[in-house]
């Protein structure tokens, strides 16, 4: 299942948010909240997280970048089960890491969901949208 779409949510007083129904089915069982890139958090279903872990197990363990990434990534990764309402809870530490206050944006990004503070997402989108054509050509080519 490919995860796509943009969804706005608000955190409740316990730092929980509900996954949107269009992507909730991909997140049955254990989910993994991880530090992401560019100030976002990543939310992986179990199967996609296992693929990330497998890729890392094949990386040369002596490499400084591999060791640093694994420490920063796995040490702050949190696993949990969604509740009956399809909610996921952010820890205070991960919310602080991503500078998340109350309003968030969830982005379906192929095999995971990115979780952004709404203001930071709006700033990122404003800064990057004008680059979309050039980035598309570099990533996908002219064809």
Q: How confident is the model at residue 1 (pLDDT cuts 50, 70, 90)?
A: confident
Would you state the pLDDT for residue 143? 59
Q: How far apart are CA 30 and CA 141, in angstroms?
A: 37
User: Could you tell me how far CA 72 lies from the centroid of its own chain?
Assistant: 15
For the sheet containing 30-35, what is the strand order?
6-10, 103-109, 112-117, 41-45, 30-35, 78-81
Mean predicted confidence (pLDDT) in 47-56: 94
Contacts of 22 (CB under 8 A, 6+ apart): 5, 108
pLDDT digits (tens, 9 = 90+) for 118-132: 999 999 999 999 999
Mean predicted confidence (pLDDT) in 12-29: 94
Q: How confident is the model at residue 60 (pLDDT cuts 50, 70, 90)?
A: confident
Residue 121: which of 143, 99, 90, 137 has the closest Cα? 99
pLDDT digits (tens, 9 = 90+) for 132-142: 989 999 999 87
Three-state DSSP class for residue 74: helix
- Measured between its terminal Cα atoms, the distance across the chain in Å is 25
Contacts of 18 (CB under 8 A, 6+ apart): 9, 85, 86, 87
> Any idea what DSSP says for residue 100?
-
CATH of domain 6-117: 3.40.1550.20
pLDDT digits (tens, 9 = 90+) for 70-103: 999 999 999 999 999 999 999 999 999 999 999 9
Angle at 114 between CA 113 and CA 117, to 5 degrees: 140
Reported pTM: 0.93
Contacts of 1 (CB under 8 A, 6+ apart): 25, 26
């Amino acid at each position: 299942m490919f995860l796509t779409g943009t969804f706005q949510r608000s955190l409740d007083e316990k730092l929980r948010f509900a996954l949107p129904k269009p992507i909730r089915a991909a997140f049955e069982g254990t989910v993994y909240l991880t530090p992401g890139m560019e100030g976002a958090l990543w939310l992986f279903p179990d199967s996609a997280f296992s693929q990330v872990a497998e890729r890392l197990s094949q990386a040369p363990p002596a490499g400084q970048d591999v060791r640093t990434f694994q420490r920063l990534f796995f040490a702050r990764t949190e696993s949990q089960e969604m509740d009956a309402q399809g909610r996921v809870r952010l820890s205070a530490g991960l919310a602080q890491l991503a500078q998340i206050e109350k309003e968030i944006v969830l982005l379906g990004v192929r095999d995971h969901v990115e979780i952004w503070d709404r203001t930071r997402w709006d700033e990122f989108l404003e800064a990057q949208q004008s680059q979309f054509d050039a980035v598309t050509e570099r990533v996908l080519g002219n064809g």
